[in-house]
Amino acid sequence: MKIGLVSRNQWLRHLASMGCLLAILGCFVLAPLTAGAATASGALGPVTPKDLVYQIITDRFVDGDTGNNVPNGFDPTLFDGSGTDLKLYQGGDWQGIINKISYLKDMGVTAVWISAPYANRDTAILDYQSGGGVDRWTSFHGYHVRNYFATNKHFGALSQFKALRDALHAQGMKLVIDFVTNHSSRWKNPTNGYTPEDGKLYEPDKDANGNYCFDVNGEPYDCSGPTGVENLLADPNNDTNGWFHGLGDRGSDSSRFGYRHKELGSLADFSQENAAVVAHLEKAAGFWKALGVDGFRHDATLHMNPAFVKGLKDAIDSASGGPLAHFGEFFIGRPDPKYDEYRTFPDRTGVNNLDFEYYRASTNAFGSFTETMAQFGSMLTQTSADYIYENQAVTFLDNHDVTRFRYVQPNDRPFHAAIATLMTARGTPNIYYGTEQYMSSADSSDIAGRGFMQVVAPSFSQTTTAYTTIKKLAALRASNEALAYGQTSVLYSNNDVLVFSRKFYDKEVVVAVNRQPAVNYTVPVLSTTLPAGTYTDALTGTLFGTSNTVSGGQLASFALAGGQVNVWSYN
């Protein structure tokens, strides 16, 4: 959209220069949030670019309450607990996160993204192998909803979820929950001739007035006699009310219709054209908003109609408590024919993207070295122009759906350089649990990267170089608005070196990165808008950085040793 002769990006920045920051897609709060509830729902408010998000697969973090490892009725053979069989539950829970809040807080984390908190399918998922064996899987990840209005008892009761919320909020830390509205669980087994399997959706029992029945602790209970604590709402294998599309797996169908209406891995795909389905999903989201969460990470947004996504976001934000943070998984490659649809999705729906373009470019530049640092810098400037809300895109090096970055890049120096760049580049940075402890994986699969952190990195060291780098740059991001809201300019680049600036009014941060672990470079004198003076490295030498001087609008020539990162800040 053009307004006069300027683009909307330029228009928004012009308004910002007059002291206005538009809250079109959620608030940008320039003043730091203090501990304690800031909204009517008890939430602290939306995630902003000043935040550092930390993603936790709840089952794979810390087992803080062994009493919920095998909930009533659960097959105990589907629990492992040793970190060996990653297809099974390991025991991580909300109490485990509570136990590590000080560890997260000290690292500079200000928002914690956890697995979907509601009840999931809790029976074995059987994958029959061509050689005759059978792999047994569980829904430990939270992406196979069974009942939106009951907690996942592997993680804890509702009282424990509230305890987690309160413990985070007491430290000024926001709580973001994963939320799945694209599908339920697998309804046909593709490894066994597509025989009927599950996919069923349940809801709590209702009283005579049609209201859900919850006890004093917020737990569903049987209030109408023999029907039980929960009742079947929809079954894709007997879909009499049209709750599911039922069109089969998408396979190689790359059409827009295929992505939005066919199934992702045989997961029963909700028919979001059905008003009853929409009403139920919006009611479910409202239920969790009322519990005081600060944001929603929306799963599989690529596979949903943007009109539904916008309606869901609007329903959440218009409910009591005001707007929350919204970001979602619009999964793309690089290059990708869906790029235009991806980059415009936040403007069309109000749901920001997990920045897969940043992820792909970072993996290639810092991981496999299949792209140059000059190309990475071009991506930063191009997406800053392409994205309307570029600083609200949630950037990441890896997550639960992709290969662990440490597996791609086992060398410390480019690994640390990638972390430092993530923490200083445009967007809202997200750290995947264990990255600060160098968690890797046995192979390149996403499941191999979902290790049990208390087993893999039991010390939870607060002195690793990765942890220290994140901590120092999280503090800088919180204190210097240039990192949160600044425009990006590339000052210098070649195959292995990138020098870029983030500038917001008179505040500025200049970052110089050498990805090569053992090759030194000399960067020539560069023009800069930094005021004259001597600038010390904001990382205080953690990544071998040194001081530099500015005189007459010129940044003095400097050497970059292998893996060196300089961060010079003017605030």
pLDDT at 42: 80
Mean pLDDT of 281-309: 98
Mean pLDDT of 197-214: 97
CB 160 within 8 A of CB 95: yes
Q: pLDDT of 100-133, one tens digit each?
A: 999 999 999 999 999 999 999 999 999 999 999 9
pLDDT at 34 over 90: no
Whole-angstrom Cα distance, residue 101 to residue 552?
46
pLDDT at 15 over 80: no
pLDDT at 13 over 80: no
pLDDT at 39: 58
State the average pLDDT for the chain: 93
pLDDT at 227: 74
Name the more confident of 298 and 43: 298
For the question of residue 481 being annotated catalytic, the response is no
Q: pLDDT of 369-382, one tens digit each?
A: 999 999 999 999 99
pLDDT at 27 over 80: no
pLDDT at 40: 56
Cis bond before residue 335 (omega within 30° of 0) = yes
Whole-angstrom Cα distance, residue 382 to residue 147?
42
Q: pLDDT of 134-185, one tens digit each?
A: 999 999 999 999 999 999 999 999 999 999 999 999 999 999 999 999 999 9
Q: Which residue in the list 205, 329, 390, 508 is annotated as catalytic?
A: 329
For the question of residue 197 being annotated catalytic, the response is no
Mean pLDDT of 445-456: 98
Q: Which residue in the list 299, 390, 398, 496 is annotated as catalytic?
A: 299
Residue given tokens 């993207």 in the structure block: 353
Any idea of the CA torsion for 402, 408, 414, 419, to the nearest 10 degrees?
A: 20
CB 181 within 8 A of CB 270: yes
Please, which pLDDT band fits residue 224 given cuts at 50, 70 and 90? confident
Whole-angstrom Cα distance, residue 139 to residue 86?
11
pLDDT at 233: 98
Whole-angstrom Cα distance, residue 2 to residue 11?
9
Going by C-beta distance under 8 Å and a sequence separation of 6 or more, which residues neighbour residue 42? 165, 169, 291, 292, 321
pLDDT at 47: 98
pLDDT at 4 over 90: no
Helices 306-318 and 275-289: crossing angle in degrees, nearest 10, is: 40
